[in-house]
Amino acid sequence: MAKPMTKTQLVAALAEEMGTDKKSAGAALDAICGLITKEVSGGGAVTLPGVGKIYCRERPERMVRNPATGEQFKKEADKVVKMTIAKALKDSVNG
């Protein structure tokens, strides 16, 4: 498995793709991340065409088990961020 792309590498690749400097590409990436965070934390969803959909899902209260001790306890309801991968991305990886 290849090493994940770092933010610095992503900004450099984005700058090259956009034909702009790294500072502008970094600002664009930060703005996009900020918008996604704000929308998803507010209960909405964001679709990135060709990549997937990022959304927040509520999990109900449930019983969980501590694997070290085997003790069961009740975990409060919480929210988790999920991502559904787009078919186009799946096909490009598998094709």
What is the rounded distance in angstroms from the CA atom of residue 69 to the CA atom of residue 26? 46
CATH number of 44-95: 4.10.520.10
Percent of the chain with pLDDT over 70: 100
Cβ distance 52 to 81 under 8 Å?
no
Cβ distance 14 to 29 under 8 Å?
yes
Q: What is the pLDDT of residues 4-45, one digit of tens each?
A: 999 999 999 999 999 999 999 999 999 999 999 999 999 999
Q: Domain ranges in the chain? A: 1-42, 44-95
Q: What is the pLDDT of residues 36-80, one digit of tens each?
A: 999 999 999 999 999 999 999 999 999 999 999 999 999 999 999
Q: Which residues, 6+ apart, have CB-to-CB distance to 7 below 8 Å?
A: 29
Exposure class string for 61-90: b at 16+ Cβ within 10 A, else e:
eeeeeeeeeeeeeeeeeeeeeeeeebeeee
**Bridge-partner residues for 57, per DSSP?**
80
Cβ distance 72 to 65 under 8 Å?
yes
